[in-house]
Amino acid sequence: MNYNQLGNTGVLVSELCLGTMTFGGNGYWQAMGTLQQDAVNDIVKTSFDQGINFIDTANVYSFGQSETLLGQSIKTLGLPRHELIIATKVRGRMGEGKNQVGLGRLQIMQQLDDSLKRLQVDHVDLYQIHGFDPITPLEETMRGLEDVVRSGKVRYIGCSNLAAWQVMKANGIADKYGWTKFISTQNYYSIAGRDLENEIVPMVQDQQMAILPWSPLAGGFLSGKYTRDNKPEGDSRRLGFDFPPVDQERAYDIIEVMQAIGAAHGVSVARIALAWVLAKPGVTSVIIGAKNTEQLNDNISATEVSLTTEQLEQLDAVSARPKPYPQWMIARQGNDRLGVFNPTQSAVAK
């Protein structure tokens, strides 16, 4: 297991992060997993024993159950708190009340206190907003996050599912007032979903932030069990909860290439999909979830797969999407600054 710097901080996190969306199974979260305490203990212990020191959860996962199960597992197993980097999130609806959702100061403070109780800890290491709140000014959100950092209940803050301009605006507000900035962004990123590379990846590299990819197996679609000849059916999660969205025909093309590369390495398609994400620039820690220890161990073994330059180029080629505007124009205009001058592709070309 390798360890990477968490953004521009002195904290080191494992290159894989244990995701806990499979813990609990309350309400519509059943589609993700229904692991209860004994199974959760096995998953957490296996992860820790394999070198994973980073665990990610959220208040909204099974409406608090995931945090409760995780907190009890850490206590039951007697894991050393100082060796764990625990992350959770705030934003989602946690009840029917008018103010039981969102990113106002009121919600941030109340939801953090509730999360700490469920986790049975006095602080979290990374507190992340779980999306954008369209009715709360970013100034209020960033001040609320600054308050919980100053209270000692939060060490660092991060964001998830924001556009690049929203991240930059939020950190610009924090910079203006001397408040804590986001050090990480948690986003969907897989070989079947590379939208992140258009704006987020360049922003992260420029700002020295961490990328924490979620759903690197595209909601299980890249697990290896689906092919053109074996499409989702029966009790497949994809039939009950088709998320994140996947262009299935394109994904089958990618899977075919991954099958060949996997065969060359003697490993599963899932390991190849994870190894590809682990190799991408800007990626700090890839979030993996599992419904059993066998699945977890297979995912962890992806850290042992070393893809060749040629194999990475094959995977990049089969999964490539046309660059949107203005990315293609930026690349075109940059040609006369990056090496051989080509007048047909220069900044003055019409």
Report the percentage of the chain scoring pLDDT > 70: 94
Q: Tell me the H-state helices in the chain.
A: 37-49, 65-77, 105-119, 138-150, 164-177, 200-207, 237-240, 248-265, 269-278, 293-300, 309-319, 327-333
Q: Rounded mean pLDDT of 21-40?
A: 94
Is the pLDDT at 4 greater than 80, yes or no? yes
* Rounded (5°) CA angle 48-54-56: 115
Tell me the HSE value of 63 on the side-chain side, using a 13 A CA sphere.
12
Is the pLDDT at 236 greater than 80, yes or no? no
Q: Band of the pLDDT at 239, cuts 50, 70, 90? A: low
Q: What are phi and psi of 125, to 5 degrees?
A: -85, -30
Active site residues: 61
Is the pLDDT at 136 greater than 60, yes or no? yes
Q: Band of the pLDDT at 234, cuts 50, 70, 90? A: low
The helix, strand and coil proportions of the chain, stated in percent and rounded to the nearest 5, come to 45, 15, 40
Question: How many DSSP H helices and E strands does the chain contain?
Answer: 12, 10
Q: Rounded mean pLDDT of 62-91?
A: 98
Residue 194 pLDDT: 98
Range with the lowest mean pLDDT among 142-151, 253-262, 315-324, 337-346? 337-346
**What's the rounded Cα separation, in Å, for the pair 21 and 16?**
15
Tell me the HSE value of 45 on the side-chain side, using a 13 A CA sphere.
13
Enumerate residues 6+ apart whose C-beta is below 8 A from 192.
218, 221, 222, 246, 247, 250, 251, 254, 319
Residue 344 pLDDT: 52
Q: Band of the pLDDT at 343, cuts 50, 70, 90? A: low
Cα 304 to chain centroid distance, Å, stands at 20
* Segment holding 188, helix H or strand E: strand 182-188
* Of 289, 251, 230, nearest in space to 46 by CA: 289
Let me know: does 320 contact 334? Beta carbons within 8 Å. Answer: no
Is the pLDDT at 125 greater than 50, yes or no? yes
**What's the rounded Cα separation, in Å, for the pair 210 and 284?**
6
